[in-house]
Amino acid sequence: MTSPAQAQDDSAATVDDQLGYFLGFTVGSSFAQQGFKPSDFTVEGMNQGLTDALSQKDPALSDEQLQEIQGKIQAMMEKRQAARMAEFQKQGVANKEKSELWMKQNAKAEGIKELEGGLQYKVVKEGEGASPSAEDTVAVHYTGKLTNGEVFDSSVQRGQPAKFPVNRVIQGWQMALQQMKVGSKWMLYIPPELAYGENGSPPKIGPNEVLVFEVELLEIL
């Protein structure tokens, strides 16, 4: 049975013009990030423009036409951005309600404690070392999840502890780390206002999301 990796390699091997494919993929990725869609233009038109530009020919469109097209592109992108922002705000309102309900329910679970500001935590293992200050740099292992269980970041999966100043991370982490002792492992349940708030951290963390972390404080550096 062919593995997904093998299938991908076989597909790549069938590309005759690998340089052209690389350039096209790079340009296409850039366009996608800017908000363009495949239906916005034809490959034939794009190819003609590329060929004329590479051949150092004069544009097939007049200056007036070029300016008109630029205006249409700007208007199209502004409209799409407005639609994305409206949807993001709508999602933020829904997530806020879900997050508040989730935190209330989680507070009733066995072993859950709460710090000032609404940060909930559960001690998995209690350490015996010192507790860091806000100015200290620490080494930790962690796994971050959304409330649906989806992992969005994990030093454990990378196999490399994270090292950072305590005062450079989200507020929920700052509060918890200064209460933890070296060797401790806690579960953190961080409300949006102590995490990424209404802005979220796209694309993995939406607006007003509760974040769930398993954090092990390895050492103070």
Helix (H, G, I), strand (E, B) or coil at 51: helix
Instruction: Supply the pLDDT for residue 7.
Output: 44
Which amino acid is located at 163 in the chain? K
Instruction: Supply the pLDDT for residue 12.
Output: 53
Structure tokens at 47: 């190819």
Give the residue ranges of DSSP H helices in 131-177: 155-158, 171-177
Domain ranges of the chain: 4-60, 100-220
Instruction: Supply the pLDDT for residue 180.
Output: 97
Instruction: Supply the pLDDT for residue 59.
Output: 92
DSSP codes of every residue in 17-49: -HHHHHHHHHHHHHHHHHT--GGGS-HHHHHHH
Instruction: Supply the pLDDT for residue 84.
Output: 85
d(CA 212, CA 144): 6
Interstrand relation of 137-146 and 120-125 (parallel, antiparallel or unpaired): unpaired
Nearest Cα to Cα of residue 140 among 181, 94, 88: 181
Specify whether the CB–CB gap between 99 and 210 falls below 8 A: yes
DSSP state of 109: S
d(CA 69, CA 51): 19
Which amino acid is located at 102 in the chain? W
Instruction: Supply the pLDDT for residue 6.
Output: 45
Residues involved in catalysis: 142, 152-153, 170, 196, 213
Instruction: Supply the pLDDT for residue 87.
Output: 87
Instruction: Supply the pLDDT for residue 122.
Output: 98
Instruction: Supply the pLDDT for residue 155.
Output: 97
Read off the pTM.
Answer: 0.72
Question: Which listed CATH number (3.40.50.300, 3.30.470.20, 3.10.50.40, 3.40.50.150) goes with 100-220?
Answer: 3.10.50.40
Instruction: Supply the pLDDT for residue 183.
Output: 97
Instruction: Supply the pLDDT for residue 124.
Output: 97
Structure tokens at 54: 């590479």
* Residues of the chain with confidence (pLDDT) below 70: 1-13
